[in-house]
Structure 1
Amino acid sequence: MTEQKSTNNTVSLWTLVSLIIGSTVGAGIFALPQNAASVAAPGAMLIGWAIAGIGMLSIAFVFQVLALRKPHLDSGVYSYVRAGLGDFVGFASAWGYWLGSVIAQVGYATLFFSTLGHYIPFFSTENRWTSGIAVSILTWVIFFMLTRGIQQAALMNVVTTVAKILPILAFIILVAFLGFSWDKFTLDIWGRNGGSGSVMDQIKAFMLFTVWTFIGVEGASVYSKQSRTRRDVGRATVIGFFSVLALLVTVTTLSFGVMTQEELAGLSDNSLAAVLEHVVGPWGGALVSLGLMFSVLGAYVSWQMLCAEPILLMGIDGLLPARFGRVNRAGAPVAAQLVSTIVIQICVVVFFMNEATYSFMVQLATIMYMLPYVFSALYLVLLATRGRGMTHPHAGTRFDDSGPVVSASDNRRHLLIGAVALVYSLWLFYAADPRYLLLGCLLVVPGLIPYVWTRIKSGDRIFNTFEWVVVALVILGSCYAIYGLTSGTLSFA
């Protein structure tokens, strides 16, 4: 495949790199020391990062390759899934990605107010309902802002990006020179005495946290049409990815050299601040906490705006009622934003009533995010092996299998990328705690109601044979989830 010049070549290589770093480095890194130590010792953690590095890079390249091979698919990440595997699987992926964003919103808010509660007891973890009410108010205030077409100003994006990167860099420098102890890092490097299970069990448990920290790494592919050259997209993906990976691995490695695994596992959600406070005193914790609150607040506003995007696109594409695809005079998708805000509010009530932890919300959201990842990887494998996806009801229109001519060598490379990403994605589902898979199935089921109603109203076939199998598996999993919740064997905690 030859390099192509863009007709609107305004986005430079380093702008693409900054987009990846800005969208990927979020709240996850601030909770990473505690998250990692709660399931893995230092040795298993490093192996987990190596696996995650290969797997997540392959997923990032899946979206880059699909953007090159299918430039006419412009309805976001889920459009590849819909083109390759049909309407319902595409819908389920978009629905899952949307719910993952909704759950992530509640996780962001929980982390924000728990950090604030460290300094203002009114919002401490003992006063969960105070934080719950504050989250609800914040959510609805942002909703009314967004309905008026108000988006984040460029200045706010700059401030929040700088505010989260500087404390992380300060953490790395101060801990590396003042607090890291190699003896402490290697004291129980494989977790033999920590009760974390075998090394493989530790790696499996650690993997979902790694995915959470990489959400957004496919960002450069979104701007492939505006890049100066297509090659810049690949370069930016590699540079941005390894920059983020270096930050994540450095933060977790240094943390294990400051405190033991048991001590790290007992920290609060904002564990990055606690580790730096352990090294330099209270001012270090305050510095990181301030950066975290700026970062999370900026992410909360932007992600609430983005939460509406999958609903808007599915309304436009006819997978949900058309009203969800409409915008008001200010250009805001009010119906999509309203339903997203209502579901965020429901999640706040459910999670706070059941005392769900930040860790629980992260892992459940990650499972939902994985749906478009695994199916997009499968689509690339199908393209590379048979030249097309599965039979699609709209073949011949916008979801045909036309695209640029691909050389045999490029096709082999694409097959390798897709296969690695698919194996990695499936292994993540295998490694996940089964309760997150069951709850994920349960969360997909409500989406069947508007989907089926829309299909009946439009006169389209509801499900094909392959989709019936998928629906049956989803319903079976949701039945197990309902039984677990009612019997007490499954919980939100």
Structure 2
Amino acid sequence: MSTRTVSVWTLVSLIIGSTIGSGIFALPQNIGSVASPGAMLTGWAIAGVGMLSVAFVFQILAVRKPHLDSGVYSYVRAGLGDFIGFTSGWGYWLGSVMAQVGYATLFFSTLGYYVPAFSNRWVLAIAVSAMSWLIFWGLTRGLRQAAVMNVVTTVAKLVPILAFIVLVAFLGFSWDRFTTDFWGDGSIPFGTQLKGIMLYTVWVFIGIEGASVYSKQARERSDVGKATIIGFLSVLGLLVAVSTLSYGVLSQEELAALPDNSMGAVLEAVVGPWGGVLVSIGLCLSVLGAYVSWQMLCAEPIVLMARDGLLPKRLSTTKNAQLLSTIVIQLFVVLFFVSEASYNGMVQLATIMYLLPYIFSSIYLVLIARDNHVHLVVGLIASVYSLWLIYAADPVYVLLGALAVLPGVVPYVWTRRANNEKVFNTFEWFIVAIVVVGAVVAVVGLANGSLVLE
């Protein structure tokens, strides 16, 4: 792809392709488990404003700071220092690793509907582990996701999604069913429903920050902003349509009881078994393609941080970083399956980790945008929204997120000492203290059973 040759519509397709992943296939059950139709629509309205502001934060920073090209963590490092930058990059990497486990779990649990052997948790764990190591083996021997695979996976996920929307809208949607208990039955407060939906709305938008990656290839810089809006609204339209139509087919209680591939189950309720098969095929092809892509890409933050001197130099090679990522994927497979964590639990913990660069990058934009009121407002909205997401999250996942961050401090400190650099400044010591306290509370909670990963 040569410099400055990418058109607006190519940018739009790249944004849609990188954002629409496995999350939308599980969306009916995810949303139905926590929110009524009214809370769902309100949640999407908040998420629409908030996530668009986050997308624009990265697009604005890409234009204002074109020399910062070491991934999303580079903005945080530039604005808030090495350790906060490292924490952001480490969190983004761990989010990607956890997402891999979630993708594979969704893939095999969908197969389990047709192949009963995969319904056994330990068979599922072995299958997820085997696929991760098989892909790593392929990557070490030059496996690359070919352009034809990108096309196949993009078509595989968009065709069943569009078919779902059309078929459900014309054959299965009932306005009466949709409006029954529109605000819930009163047993769960509206605010609680709204908080419950928030992390799921972020999960299905993960990747929207990737729009900034393409800014250097755009024919015109203004095209990136246009493509971000068009691509974002297209993705939002698909997500809202799938969520809304599902409530017109099944009640909230019925949606909450569906399996992980809940989009397939909703379509099956409308047109019969072939609808579930159609969505399942699309989901499996889409997730398989995403799994290869993300296992290639999730090593990138480690490589970049090692090259920038924040991690040991030996991790600056792609092979070593991919090996570390695969080992940690295996570790999380064991942890998640031993603790009997659900797909929903994996998603929420991964989302907490992704929020770190979102929060810190937004704060960085606020710090440098005093000369541009529009940029300042975007940064403030994104900062408030991202921080509110942490507040809205189940404290279990926040504490477990602190526990996941803590091991990264060890190689960071070792590297700083090896390079004869100051380890922490006063502000960084304060952040370290918060992380340590959160991790200790998490360990104690896990030990006495007061904290449980759902």
Q: Distance in 1 between matches of 2:161 and 2:13?
A: 16
CA contact (8 A) 2:108 2:118 kept: yes
Is there any run of 5+ residues in structure 2 with no aligned partner, and where? Answer: none
The structural deviation recorded for 1:219 is 1.8
1:139 to 2:132 alignment: yes
Q: Distance in 1 between matches of 2:268 and 2:358?
A: 37
Which letter does structure 2 place at the counterpart of 1:334?
K
The corresponding residue for 1:417 is: 378
CA contact (8 A) 2:139 2:296 kept: yes
Q: Secondary structure at the match of 1:40?
A: coil
Matches within 5 A, 1:11-160: 11-124=6-119, 127-160=120-153
The structural deviation recorded for 1:357 is 0.1
Which letter does structure 2 place at the counterpart of 1:39?
V
The structural deviation recorded for 1:486 is 0.6
CA contact (8 A) 1:218 1:237 kept: no
Q: Distance in 2 between matches of 1:165 and 1:278?
A: 20
The corresponding residue for 2:415 is: 454
Q: Secondary structure at the match of 2:341?
A: coil
The corresponding residue for 2:321 is: 336
Q: Secondary structure at the match of 2:208?
A: coil
CA contact (8 A) 2:396 2:453 kept: no
The corresponding residue for 1:275 is: 266
Residues 309-343 of structure 1, C-alpha deviation per residue, up to 9 Å, x if partnerless?
011001100000011113xxxxxx11100000000
Runs of 4+ off more than 6 Å: none
Q: Please, which of 165, 168, 173 is the counterpart of residue 161 of structure 2?
A: 168
Which letter does structure 2 place at the counterpart of 1:109?
A
The structural deviation recorded for 1:14 is 0.7
Q: Secondary structure at the match of 1:310?
A: helix
CA contact (8 A) 2:36 2:181 kept: yes
Matches within 5 A, 1:259-408: 259-326=250-317, 333-385=318-370, 408=371
The corresponding residue for 1:397 is: none
The structural deviation recorded for 1:492 is 2.3
Q: How many residues align?
A: 454
The corresponding residue for 1:219 is: 210
The corresponding residue for 1:477 is: 438
The structural deviation recorded for 1:8 is 2.1
Q: Distance in 2 between matches of 1:300 and 1:95?
A: 20
Q: Secondary structure at the match of 1:223?
A: helix
Q: Distance in 1 between matches of 2:368 and 2:206?
A: 25
Q: Distance in 2 between matches of 1:360 and 1:122?
A: 23
Farther off after superposition, 454-463 or 139-148:
139-148
CA contact (8 A) 1:116 1:123 kept: yes
Q: Distance in 2 between matches of 1:384 and 1:292?
A: 41
The structural deviation recorded for 1:148 is 2.1
The corresponding residue for 1:437 is: 398
Q: Please, which of 146, 169, 181 is the counterpart of residue 174 of structure 2?
A: 181
Which letter does structure 1 place at the counterpart of 2:112?
G
Task: Note the aligned Cα RMSD (angstroms).
Answer: 1.0
Which letter does structure 2 place at the counterpart of 1:286?
V
1:245 to 2:240 alignment: no
Q: Distance in 2 between matches of 1:253 and 1:366?
A: 23
Which letter does structure 1 place at the counterpart of 2:441?
Y
Which letter does structure 2 place at the counterpart of 1:413?
V
TM-score by length of 1: 0.91
Q: Distance in 2 between matches of 1:426 and 1:372?
A: 11
CA contact (8 A) 1:98 1:311 kept: yes
Which letter does structure 2 place at the counterpart of 1:335?
N
Residues 213-265 of structure 1, C-alpha deviation per residue, up to 9 Å, x if partnerless?
00011222101011000000000000000000000000000000000000000
The structural deviation recorded for 1:192 is 1.9
- Equivalent pairs: percent with the same residue? 70
Residues 359-396 of structure 1, C-alpha deviation per residue, up to 9 Å, x if partnerless?
000000000000000000000000013xxxxxxxxxxx
Q: Distance in 2 between matches of 1:90 and 1:148?
A: 32
The structural deviation recorded for 1:198 is 1.1
The structural deviation recorded for 1:10 is 1.2
Which letter does structure 1 place at the counterpart of 2:137?
F
Residues 15-64 of structure 1, C-alpha deviation per residue, up to 9 Å, x if partnerless?
11011100110000000000001000000000000000000000000000
Which letter does structure 1 place at the counterpart of 2:139?
L
The structural deviation recorded for 1:149 is 2.7
1:209 to 2:190 alignment: no
Residues 191-219 of structure 1, C-alpha deviation per residue, up to 9 Å, x if partnerless?
125x3x11111011100000000001122
Q: Distance in 1 between matches of 2:179 and 2:231?
A: 30
